Amino acid sequence: MRICIYGAGAIGATIGARLAASGHAVSLVARGAHLDAIRRDGLVFVDHVGNGRQTAGGNDSGTYRLAASDQPAELGQHDVVFLATKAQQLPQVLAGLAPLLGPGSVVVPAINGLPWWYFQGLTGPRAGLMLRALDPAGTMAEALSWRRIVGCVLHLAAERTRPGEVHSTAGRRLILGEPDRTDSGRLRAVALLLESAGFAVERSPDIRRDIWVKLIGNLSFNPVAALTGYRMDQICADAELLTVIRQVLQEGAAVAAGVGIDVGMSAEQRIGIARQLGEARISMLQDLENGRSLELAPIVGAVIEMADLLGIAVPATRTVHALAQARARALGLPAV
């Protein structure tokens, strides 16, 4: 398989490096100083987790010389394209994705928050619904058909420590699922591809439920991390913060139930999943520390917009959202 990672930041580079280490042909779409460093010195990948395989050396740490460009047309067509950009970059990314895609290419969005394609391919009153928080211009569904997509939920953490260098810090678990809930051949092929790279892969019969299980965690922990500067273990050790986390988790689960999703776990159980990330500095904290825009719209704003459509009260979520937006503004960062 020819594989492209569109967005070779912390998560994208982790996926790309592990796939390259397992012998696959990997190309990267990156930009700026990060791209310059990869072209000059290679992608430096430091694995603090291990790949879960019995192989010489025990992990995939190393330097990888990979094709890299900020112009997708220079890289040609690929069998699988992983989208690992920030959600606010996706409209521009999708508009320029065509050069990477052949007739049978599969696109795997490895992104945070509620995905823009969530209501595509459904039947019923919300079929095709597009939320303003996710697609303000209403162009994303036209730019890429949901039929090309295999859904993905990430349960791992990584950090870009300097241009050209990425550290995998926690987790190897990836959940994959077809938007139409089938166990398709391409779903099995992508799962095998990622398993070959040492990821712990699950094929889900209902990827939207898995999206919500991850989303309610991001909804609660990510803005709190940005507001406090705490790592995941520090949040989980703070009893007063956990009171806020529980309230937001419960509100998120109520919105999920409003669209027919039972997350299937209590707030305490979801906190237990978060504890498994240990000392991870989760994505919104990393973005704030590095002067990057905060992904509040797909993680928090979309849930509030759905709550409004459903008539569900989410006061704790609104409070956390307002505070995180104010924090971003105070630092001169976009909160999108």
86 is known as an active-site residue:
no
Catalytic: which of 208, 214, 270, 281? 214
Residue whose token pair is 């305490």: 268
- φ and ψ of 173, to 5 deg: -90, 130
Active site residues: 214
